[in-house]
Structure 1
């Protein structure tokens, strides 16, 4: 009988510890919500290029019919202004607008901060 009570108390303590751990992690998740944009000194959210060959810079949020403006290499950090819907690139139709008004596909850029819609 003693072992049954002991195991139930242990299970209860373990459950409370798990719930407490989940609750303490909640503020970290809240940091990624809109309105929590990091200000890196200039107010722009950042993105990191993740594609091996880098990402093409385009004049419009499309890889068809827009002018190629250059390329940003892998692991480069870029300033983002906002995001828009554009042509689909391998299942991702979101494009990031850059500070100079050009665009890169979000398919190959990992946003480090929350990026608002344009």
Structure 2
């Protein structure tokens, strides 16, 4: 009994010195990050805009039933009681969430790391 306690104490001391942790059970896998997406549910489709506002110019239109990748969301202009806007994953445009049915949670834009900026000539010129 005493030898067992001494052995355990030594194992804890070694773990503390080396920074190792003692596992009581099987290791658990880290959660896999998801890539949020959504489907256009508006009968007439939804306009993609340069900024999250109807005052912003329309860049394109997504038709009903189209699946799109969503990068993140912000709270901006209210449209019919809905002030959440999604930034699309594969292009720098915004759509109001009233017209998109998300498949899973979408993170806030402040919590998402910035990726490579869009390489359009207009964007490159703005960056200098």
TM range (shorter): 0.5 to 0.7
- List 4+ stretches of structure 1 deviating above 2 A: 35-38
Map residues 44-55 of structure 1 onto 2, 5 A cutoff: 44-55=35-46
Is contact 1:37-1:45 (8 Å) kept? Answer: no
Structure 1 gaps of 5+ residues are: 1-34, 39-43
Structure number, greater radius of gyration: 2
Aligned-pair CA distance for 1:67: 1.3
Map residues 98-109 of structure 1 onto 2, 5 A cutoff: 98-99=88-89, 100-109=91-100
The structure whose RCO (Cα within 8 Å, separation 6+) is larger is: 1
Is contact 1:37-1:115 (8 Å) kept? Answer: no
Q: Over the residues paired in the alignment, what is the CA RMSD in angstroms?
A: 1.5
Tell me if 1:69 matches 2:52: no
Number of residue equivalences = 78
Match of 1:56 among 47, 55, 60: 47
Is contact 1:54-1:108 (8 Å) kept? Answer: yes
- Normalised to the residue count of structure 1, the TM-score between the two structures is 0.62
Is contact 1:37-1:114 (8 Å) kept? Answer: no
- Normalised to the residue count of structure 2, the TM-score between the two structures is 0.57
CA distance in 1, matches of 2:38, 2:46: 12
Match of 2:73 among 68, 78, 83: 83
